[in-house]
Amino acid sequence: MVKQGTFGASAYGGDGWSPRVRRHEDEIGDLWAPYRVASEWKRLEAVLLHGPGDELLASDDPTSAQMLAPLDIELARAQHDALTNAYGREGVDVHFVDPVGTPSPNQMFCADLFFMTPGGAILARPASTVRAGEERWIARRLADLGVPILATLQGDAVFEGADAMWVDEGTVAIARGLRTNQAAIDQIASILTPMGVATLPVDLPFGTMHLMGMFRRPDRDLAICWPRRTPHALVMALKDRGVETAFLPDEDEAQANRALNFVTLSPRRILMVAGNPETQTFYESLGIECLTVEADELAKAAGAVGCLTGILSRAD
């Protein structure tokens, strides 16, 4: 009887061994889900949402829940359903987080909980104890969908996805402030650099929440900014790239009803909160087509359309 050894077997590099030679990004859409993001303005393809439920009972104590006022749960659910249906009518694939048990009260704000890149997702690490752990359910759902999770932030880093936004396909602005710190920016930069993506750290004014709340992109060559709030370095970076920066004409609508909290569906076509006539007229003067949904009840939780929408994929 001839003794069989392992040398030369396929598992040890012999005949039949098949080396993995493709780069990770080339496997997106094949081994991994076809979801990637490298802009804020290209056609929206897929989103991640969480339909709110009984966890909104916590809004009866809005300070502890880090909300603005108690919510009517049934109305909030109805408005979220309307948001979901609006995406469906636009041909956007909608996926749901579906956490086990009763989640924390802010779980519905999916934009805060991850940031998509051309190679996969960077998980957030929320800055508040009220939201700590929400990223676990996002991680589970992303894995189920076949989305690569590139990193979970370590140490004392805190980061929320609404603080990171694409300036162009090779640059991401990351805001330093209440929800995101320098440790997180350093870690995110180390993830983006091998993709050929630079990071632009900017500072937020005291008393603001996220970069998303003061800066939106309806098109490659257009940015909507909040006067006296949008970071100077970011506005200058936009101007250097030939991007028109248009400033909100009515800060009251932005403050009270989240007029800036929109999602770009495709270039110069957005989904925004209904009931902002002056801001909507301003957007339309810039050639932006505005679709609207009611979200005034959801806004009592300190967020709206943009905050509720985790962007999974935009067209290349």
254-269: pLDDT as tens digits: 988 899 999 999 999 9
Looking at residue 142, its amino acid is L
**pLDDT (0 to 100) of residue 250:** 86
Topology classification of domain 23-314? L-arginine/glycine Amidinotransferase; Chain A (3.75.10)
pLDDT for residue 197 is more than 90: yes
Looking at residue 305, its amino acid is V
Tell me what the mean pLDDT of segment 190-210 comes to. 96
**pLDDT (0 to 100) of residue 78:** 98
**pLDDT (0 to 100) of residue 1:** 52
Q: Give the model confidence (pLDDT) of 58-82 as tens digits.
A: 999 999 999 999 999 999 999 999 9
**pLDDT (0 to 100) of residue 5:** 85
3-state secondary structure of 258: coil
The secondary structure of 66-114 as a DSSP string is T-SS---HHHHHHHHHHHHHHHHHTT-EEEE---SSS--TTTT-GGGSE
Q: Give the model confidence (pLDDT) of 214-266 as tens digits.
A: 999 999 999 999 999 999 999 999 999 999 999 999 889 998 889 999 999 99
**DSSP 8-state class, residue 6:** S
Q: Of 67, 63, 71, 142, which is closest to residue 110 (Cα–Cα)?
A: 142
pLDDT for residue 3 is more than 80: no
**How much is the pTM?**
0.95
The residues spanned by each domain of the chain are: 23-314
User: pLDDT over 70 for what percent of the chain?
Assistant: 99
What are the helix (H) ranges across the chain? 62-65, 73-89, 134-145, 182-192, 232-240, 251-257, 277-285, 305-308
